[in-house]
């Protein structure tokens, strides 16, 4: 009788191990699926995004506390290509048009399509607020003017 009991215990232990392995494998597969879906939903192919764009690309560098880059483009579709070389989170936007998500320190080549801009001067800015002292990055000088020239004018881009 004891031999049957030990066999049964061993069998049950093996079954529990098998179930545990199956649960772990299922969890790993589910996690991989979630990561892949997130990559395609939120990232996509940067190369495809860049190749498909027909407009002016404004390369920007964000740091404490400045927005710098090529700031003159002809009228038309405009894309911001921002890199955060600073040590804190920044974002960038065109006042009254569009703002990016937070761009982490060290993050490079963040793309923000701002649409078609008519000739004029547009303010680029970072709207991050320091949670400790409530100062804004704008008040610390994180603004720049983007000059959009008429299509027939000579522009540096």
The pLDDT score that the predictor gives to residue 48 is 46
The pLDDT score that the predictor gives to residue 18 is 92
pTM of the predicted model as reported, rounded to 2 decimal places? 0.63
If asked whether residues 114 and 74 sit together in one domain, one would say yes
Q: What is the mean pLDDT of residues 112-125?
A: 93
* Total number of domains in the chain: 2
Is 156 domain-assigned? no
pLDDT digits (tens, 9 = 90+) for 3-58: 778 888 888 899 999 999 999 989 888 888 888 777 666 554 444 455 578 889 99
Q: Could you give the percent of the chain with pLDDT greater than 70?
A: 87
- Count how many Cα atoms sit within 13 Å of the Cα of residue 24 in the half-sphere of its side chain: 6
The pLDDT score that the predictor gives to residue 36 is 79
All residues at 6 or more sequence positions from 74 whose CB lies less than 8 Å from its CB, including other chains? 56, 148, 149, 150, 151, 153, 155, 157
| Torsion sign (Cα): 141, 92, 69, 65 | positive
Is 49 domain-assigned? no
If asked whether residues 125 and 58 sit together in one domain, one would say yes
If asked whether residues 37 and 58 sit together in one domain, one would say no
Range(s) of the domain holding residue 102: 54-149
Is 154 domain-assigned? no
Is 16 domain-assigned? yes
All residues at 6 or more sequence positions from 95 whose CB lies less than 8 Å from its CB, including other chains? 122, 123, 124, 125
If asked whether residues 4 and 31 sit together in one domain, one would say yes
Is 155 domain-assigned? no
What Rg do the C-alpha atoms of the chain give, in angstroms?
Answer: 26
106 has a pLDDT exceeding 80: yes
If asked whether residues 65 and 110 sit together in one domain, one would say yes
């Amino acid at each position: 009788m004891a031999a049957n009991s030990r066999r049964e215990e061993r069998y049950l232990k093996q079954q529990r191990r098998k179930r545990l392995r199956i649960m772990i494998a299922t969890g790993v597969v589910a996690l991989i699926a979630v990561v892949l879906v997130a990559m395609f939903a939120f990232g996509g192919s940067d190369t495809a995004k860049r190749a498909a764009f027909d407009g002016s690309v404004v390369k920007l560098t964000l740091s404490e506390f400045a927005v710098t880059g090529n700031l003159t483009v002809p009228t038309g579709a405009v894309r911001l290509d921002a890199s955060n070389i600073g040590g804190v989170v920044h974002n960038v936007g065109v006042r009254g048009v569009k703002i990016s998500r937070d761009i982490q320190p060290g993050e490079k080549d963040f793309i923000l399509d701002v649409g078609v801009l008519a000739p004029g001067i547009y303010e680029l800015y970072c709207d991050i607020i320091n949670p400790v002292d409530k100062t804004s990055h704008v008040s610390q000088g994180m603004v720049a003017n983007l000059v959009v020239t008429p299509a027939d004018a000579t522009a540096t881009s």
